[in-house]
Amino acid sequence: MGFANPVGGDGGTMKLRPVSYLLLGMVRLGARSGYAIKKAADLSTHAFWPTSLAQVYPELGRLEQAGLLARREDPRGARARAEYSLTALGSDSLLTWLSSTREPPTKVRDEGLLRLFFADALGREEQIAMVTRMAASARAAAAEIAEQVLPTAEAVEDHGNRFPLAVARFGADVYAYSAAWLDGLRQELEAAGEEDEPRAGAGREGRATRQPPE
Amino acid sequence: MGFANPVGGDGGTMKLRPVSYLLLGMVRLGARSGYAIKKAADLSTHAFWPTSLAQVYPELGRLEQAGLLARREDPRGARARAEYSLTALGSDSLLTWLSSTREPPTKVRDEGLLRLFFADALGREEQIAMVTRMAASARAAAAEIAEQVLPTAEAVEDHGNRFPLAVARFGADVYAYSAAWLDGLRQELEAAGEEDEPRAGAGREGRATRQPPE
DNA sequence: GGAAGCATGTAAAGTGTTACATGATTTT
DNA sequence: AAAATCATGTAACACTTTACATGCTTCC
């Protein structure tokens, strides 16, 4: 009804969520099909913004409706395939979001830390085992970034995009720092184990050797 | 129907989620009402396991049904109040969860990092502004833990619970490390800004002075 | 007397994941 | 020939948050 918009959408009035910008940004970086976007996201943004295909496809449709993405059917043989590209409106939206000074919310759900928080209910041995597992886990996360994510990030860096690499390094370094921190905690627990026993001590021993940065 | 269970529940067959253990653990640490649990969680576990009262109250009911918590009406004057305590079954459940060697999933949703990932679309000035804001934000998070969370954690440490304090320090240190890392990135960007301009360079400059830990 | 905090809950809306459903193409 | 990958979508379920709804008590 009414006046048709030349870009075919509602003029960008839809409410955009982070996943919307993820899609716009990935298209900008060269991922053109929903499948390719999901694959790229799994190799780069997955650690701080997970997505599923069940989010990607409907959201691509909404972004097209809103005129932020242009869709073109581009079958590969008999296999259907849609190729998306950024419209001027989509590009503006992305830049506006990137320039925003509003503080973006950060949400973490870490069941491991929740366990650690309540670890006083365990005996010393189990506490040490838990902390050891967590350190190993953090180191594994750092290694996974180094092996899976960094190479991809280095590839896009060659096309003038340095931030994917910076973010990957940030992640790897933070995980490595966490692992080292947990190693320090494990050492404290091992040292304390020679004096007092589970649930016993009214903690009063020294702060050990861990150093906060700065 | 048929044989009544002496603890009044279904014998612990309900499916327990992390929020269940959060409640059990908080009751164990001395928070007895739903309100007190929520308040304690906001001051301690909020950063890695956020909860709302709309989760707490129904979940307390389920845990009581399952026989993991015992509920006793304990009004304060005319104001209703329920006091919960751990049953033997609840205590066992908590310990089993704490001892589990299964790797707990970690989920992070960080819109700030998502923006940083796509920051190549911005000009150098705006990139630097973004990174500066993120560093300030991380430093603020570290400060908030130091001011709000650490004092509470030190209080429970006096009762023989050292892990709340360890977790608080971990959080503060990781945020401080992140802030320092982002400062390093900002310096790199400022240095690079004197040579090449936005979107221009095929990144090839040195790795600067940031050091991963270990 | 008003504001802040204590205290408990429900309903609706929003968000996200897993499973379902299908089929072509390429690689081994 | 089978397995992996490319490719697109929907439906059901699970989970969380926000808003609603209410009322007492303590502090200023």
Give me the pLDDT at residue B61, please: 97
Looking at chain B, the whole-number percentage of residues with pLDDT higher than 70 is 84
Cβ separation of B185 and A162 shorter than 8 Å? no
Distance of CA A41 to the CA centre of its chain: 9
* Partner-chain residue, chosen from B22, B48, B99, that has the shortest CB–CB distance to A108: B48
- Please say whether the beta carbons of B166 and A185 come within 8 A: yes
User: B96-146 pLDDT, tens per residue?
Assistant: 999 999 999 999 999 999 999 999 999 999 999 999 999 999 999 999 999
pTM: 0.90
Distance from the B79 Cα atom to the nearest Cα atom in chain A, whole angstroms: 31
The pLDDT assigned to A2 comes to: 46
Footprint of strand C on the protein (CB under 7 A): A 17-19, 50-55, 76-79; B 33-36, 39, 53-54, 57-58, 60-61, 76, 79-82, 107, 109
Q: Does the CB of A36 sit below 7 A from strand D?
A: yes
What DSSP assignment string belongs to chain B?
A: --SPPTTSS-SS-SPP-HHHHHHHHHHHTT--SHHHHHHHHHTTTTTTS---HHHHHHHHHHHHHTTSEEEEE--BTTB--EEEEE-HHHHHHHHHHHH--SPPPEEEEEHHHHHHHTGGGS-HHHHHHHHHHHHHHHHHHHHHIIIIIHHHHHHHHTTT--HHHHHHHHHHHHHHHHHHHHHHHHHHHHHHHTT--TTT--------S-----
Does B206 score more than 50 pLDDT? no
Q: Residue A24: its pLDDT value, please? A: 98
Task: Give tens-digit pLDDT for B21-49.
Answer: 999 999 999 999 999 999 999 999 999 99
| Best to test chain A binding among B111, B144, B161, B187 (most A CBs inside 10 Å) | B111
> Can you tell me the mean pLDDT for B80-84?
96
Residue B205 has pLDDT above 90, yes or no: no
Instruction: Return the C-alpha torsion angle B132, A161, A158, B196, nearest 10.
Output: -60
The whole-number pLDDT of residue A195 equals 67
**What stretches in chain A show pLDDT beneath 70?**
1-12, 193, 195-214
Is A76 (CB) below 7 Å from strand D? yes
Supply the pLDDT for residue B211: 54
CA B135 to chain CA centroid, nearest Å: 20
CA atoms within 13 A on the CB side of B155: 10
CA of A55 to C1' of D12 (A): 15
Q: Tell whether the model's pLDDT for residue B6 goes beyond 90.
A: no
pLDDT of the residue at B195 = 66
Task: Give chain A's length.
Answer: 214
